[in-house]
Amino acid sequence: MKHVRLLVLTDDLPRASLALAETQCFHPDRREPESERFATLPGRPFHEIHTQAQARLDKIARLIPFEPVTNLEPARVIDQAELARLNDWLGRLWDETSSYEEDFRQLDDQEHLIHEQQAALENFSHLDIDLGMLRAKTRFLNIHVGLVPRENLRQLEGAVALAGYILHVYLERGDNTHVVIVGPADAKDAGLASVLAAAGFQAIPIPEGLDREPTELQRDFEMRLAAIAEERAQLTETLQRWSECYHEPLREAQRTLRLADPLVSLDESLRSRGYLTHLAGWVPAHTVAALRERLDAALAGTYDLSVRDPLPEERPLVPTVPVKSRLLAPFALLVNQYGIPSYGEVDPTPLFALTFLLMFGSMFGDVGQGAVIALAAWTLRGKLGRFWPFGLMAGGSSVLFGFLYGSLFGYEHVLPALWMNPLSDPLLMLRLALIWGVFFIVVACLLAIYNRWAVGQWREALFGHHGVVNLVFYLALIAGGLGLSAGTGEGFGTSGGFGTVPALLVAGSLAALAWHSWLHQQAPVGEKILVVVIETLETLIGYVSNTLSFLRVAAFSLNHVALSIAVFTLADMMGAFGHVVTVVLGNVFVLVLEGGIVMIQVMRLQYYEGFSRYFSGDGHAFRPIRFGRGPA
């Protein structure tokens, strides 16, 4: 990435922003320029007019739908005067259109009122009493109509009885009970209010006009709803006839606003002094020549463009260009769930994709089930969007390992295994999983060392977590462990022992880590000793447990075969039809349940054993300015 500073005439800002948007390579730097002379915000009036015009267009589009603009060619400069004229025209059009919105709102309010009355009628249809009498206030009686949670009904019955009231249940629906409470109008009613509140009582108001025959009321409601629907249809037809002549002008207005988007996006990055405006940003190094060529064509040389490398202290501000590969795009989405790579950091997406597919396939190897996953991803590619290649490749990996294992929908003897069935040698599978774990952790540590060294953090690269000293300790620990297990002392170990050289390397690296930690502790001596001992012990236990964590790769490959055996054992206990049904349902069960669990386990290994070692994920994505609200 390169940092560029652009100085242009303020009057040329619309043309400059259009050129930057067309190149799609300029990520604005929103920091204020070092020179205090550039203090004015020249793009703010343009931004405010654009915001108001876009809001008016959005409101108009709710009532006058039109075909959205997909083509911005030929691109042209939108200046503030043109934008102001467009905003005024949209304001006048909205003044006319808003009268239709008000008419629709009134119809909606009338319809809503009728629906509320219908709901009230439904609530009281089970109450065989004159609703007018319930709604009217009497001199001697207090009447409460409402609903109470069913679990509070017993409590409320006892409480109102003590107050001299009668409770009548007239409807039970869901978790609520509809009740009528009647009692004498005296001072006790004040105490009843607190009782009702404690029981969760909700009063149901009786609207006016419901004291007629329910059938007659319902017929009246339906007639009024039909009249509202007819009036809405007529109003819609009138609006359509009136607005036909505005469809093309509104499309042109949308096109104008989208062409003005680049300058709006630059608003916070612009600073001016008199006739001169300052603009800075980040561009990929390989696009600098194209950017300069486009600015030459747009501004005819009336600009100044300076280019430099990012300063060391600017690294946290430099954006990271995302992965462009269509195949890697779904894996990039999963990587971004953890974080965005920082500038200078190795993008883990290619390694993540490769190791993810290898682990998923080895843990879920079956030709038939993998083919189902791939076929489902292909069939649903329209709904899955950019994520469908992920399912296709995961299914393909499962198919590949299925051929190696000789497994087809759980049948282990239909296809000849190109390698072996996992259950034929479980110990070998466990050893291979440990070897894979060692390889994975070593690669992760090497990436961590490189990432720190690349940004000048050499001390962290040597002594930090998963740095050079940690890697030496881990490799020595593995070498010593191999000596213990092999029992041959050639080179590293003595017969059946850990080995002198590995032991010295382990002790030396732990001592170096402890000394480095001791030097950076600001605490009393006793506390420093405790912290150093805990950190050293954590390093030892952590690497051992992290390596053993990869045994799950072998465990799930064995578990996959074991589940298939269990399915076929159950199927063999059935008749011919039951056998087929059991095998089909068993495969569905394995696909959904075990497939999901394997996915989670692979993600866990990637995030915890991999990313936590070498990937900071505290960067931010490269987002160049472009024409908004649609394809660039």
C-alpha triplet 587, 400, 334: angle, nearest 5° = 80
The hierarchical CATH code for the domain 1-39+274-319 is 3.30.70.240
Report pLDDT for 20: 92
Q: How many CB atoms lie within 10 A of CB 403?
A: 18
Going along 238-288, which residue ranges are E strands? 271-273, 276-283
Report pLDDT for 486: 58
Mean pLDDT value across the chain = 86
**pLDDT tier, 116 (very low <50, low <70, confident <90, very high otherwise):** low
Q: Is the pLDDT of residue 269 over 90?
A: no
Q: Which tens digits make up the pLDDT trace of 71-108?
A: 888 888 888 899 999 999 999 999 999 999 999 999 99
Report pLDDT for 629: 46
Report pLDDT for 36: 56
Report pLDDT for 344: 82
Q: Is the pLDDT of residue 632 over 50?
A: no
**DSSP 8-state assignment for residue 616:** -
Report pLDDT for 456: 79
Report pLDDT for 361: 95
What are the structural domain ranges in the chain? 1-39+274-319, 41-120+218-265, 125-205, 330-618
Report pLDDT for 212: 62
Contact 320, 620 (CB under 8 A): yes
- 3-class state of residue 111 by DSSP: helix
Report pLDDT for 399: 96
Does this chain's domain 1-39+274-319 share its CATH topology with 125-205?
yes
Contact 314, 339 (CB under 8 A): no
Report pLDDT for 497: 72
Supply 209's token pair. Answer: 């006009």
Instruction: Cis check for the bond before 74: say yes or no (omega within 30 of 0).
Output: yes
Report pLDDT for 375: 95
Query: Which residues make Cβ contacts (< 8 Å) with residue 3, sequence separation at least 6?
Result: 29, 280, 281, 282, 307, 308, 309, 310, 314, 318
CATH architecture of 125-205: 2-Layer Sandwich (3.30)
Average pLDDT of the residues in 11-30:
90
Query: Which residues make Cβ contacts (< 8 Å) with residue 123, sequence separation at least 6?
Result: 171, 178, 204
Please name the amino acid found at residue 211.
D
Flag whether the pTM goes above 0.95: no
**pLDDT tier, 489 (very low <50, low <70, confident <90, very high otherwise):** very low
**pLDDT tier, 538 (very low <50, low <70, confident <90, very high otherwise):** confident
Q: Kindly list the distances between the CA atom of residue 413 and the CA atoms of 365, 408, 543, 603, in Å, as whole numbers in the listed order.
A: 14, 9, 39, 31
C-alpha triplet 479, 483, 488: angle, nearest 5° = 140
Percent of the chain with pLDDT over 90: 43
Of the candidate ranges 128-132, 282-286, 380-384, the one whose mean pLDDT is the lowest: 128-132
Of the candidate ranges 34-38, 407-411, 431-435, the one whose mean pLDDT is the lowest: 34-38
**pLDDT tier, 181 (very low <50, low <70, confident <90, very high otherwise):** confident
Contact 167, 156 (CB under 8 A): yes
Contact 211, 130 (CB under 8 A): yes
Q: Which class for 501: exposed (0-12), middle (13-18), buried (19 or more C-beta within 10 A)?
A: middle
- 3-class state of residue 79 by DSSP: coil
Report pLDDT for 208: 61
Q: What is the spatial distance between Cα 408 and Cα 401, in angstroms, rounded to a whole number?
A: 11
Average pLDDT of the residues in 265-275:
84
